[in-house]
């Protein structure tokens, strides 16, 4: 499983599990069959389970903040996990479950702690508040083996600046699945945003 094959991971917040299946189908048909479903709503676990059943779809759980959530997310069908920060017990539980995890790391100390846990790809969040591409480039100098997946303030207008960095295998963001389009069932609108993002990736060569 290559989480970064498309170089973009949509972040989605689902309040109604009935939106999960059509969203997954939309992402697959638009050419981006992956999503991080935030574990911030009551519908998250059920949505992950539904989306995981769609052929070709890779679904992960985001905003995972406790080891119990790791276990619950994996039981629901999550194939990868993303946490806003770094906690050793969360990382170890993900490793015990055999699932890749991207913990949030923003400082040299965070990165060194992640490396000690065997983690070499981290979430850089919130990217826009911590220097953007320049901040990542500065951190990458002493940590040449670490890769960064920026989230937070990433959009179609600035994603290319991140993806041009050799240490950035992918970006993640919610701009492709905005809440108002999901809640109104405008899946054509979501597909258009996804295709626009994929077009930007393609333009980078």
Specify the length of the chain in residues. 205
pLDDT exceeds cutoff 90 at 176:
yes
Q: Average the pLDDT over 74-93 and give the result.
A: 98
pLDDT exceeds cutoff 90 at 1:
no
The DSSP element (H or E) to which 202 belongs, if any, is helix 187-203
pLDDT level of residue 58 (50, 70, 90 thresholds): very high
**Domain 8-203 fold:** TIM Barrel (3.20.20)
Residue numbers annotated as active site? 36, 123
Q: What is the mean pLDDT of the chain?
A: 97
Burial of 71 (0-12, 13-18, 19+ CB in 10 A): middle
| Amino acid 26: pLDDT | 98
Domain residue ranges in the chain: 8-203
């Amino acid at each position: 499983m290559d989480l970064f094959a498309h170089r973009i991971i949509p972040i989605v917040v689902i309040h109604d599990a009935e939106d999960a299946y059509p969203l997954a189908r939309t992402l697959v048909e638009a050419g981006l069959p992956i999503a991080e479903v935030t574990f911030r709503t009551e519908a998250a676990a059920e949505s992950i389970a539904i989306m995981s059943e769609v052929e070709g779809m890779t679904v992960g759980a985001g905003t995972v903040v406790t080891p119990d959530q790791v276990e619950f997310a994996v039981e629901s069908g999550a194939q990868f996990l993303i946490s806003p920060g770094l906690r050793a017990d969360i990382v170890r539980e993900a490793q015990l479950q055999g699932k890749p995890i991207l913990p949030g790391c923003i400082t040299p100390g965070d990165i060194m702690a992640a490396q000690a846990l065997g983690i070499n790809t981290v979430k850089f969040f919130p990217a826009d508040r911590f220097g953007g591409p320049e901040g990542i480039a500065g951190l990458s100098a002493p940590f040449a083996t670490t890769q960064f997946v920026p989230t937070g303030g990433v959009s179609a207008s600035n994603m290319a600046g991140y993806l041009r960095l050799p240490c950035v295998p992918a970006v993640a963001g919610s701009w492709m699945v905005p809440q108002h389009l999901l809640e109104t069932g405008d899946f054509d609108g979501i597909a258009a945003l996804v295709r626009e993002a994929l077009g930007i990736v393609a333009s980078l060569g």
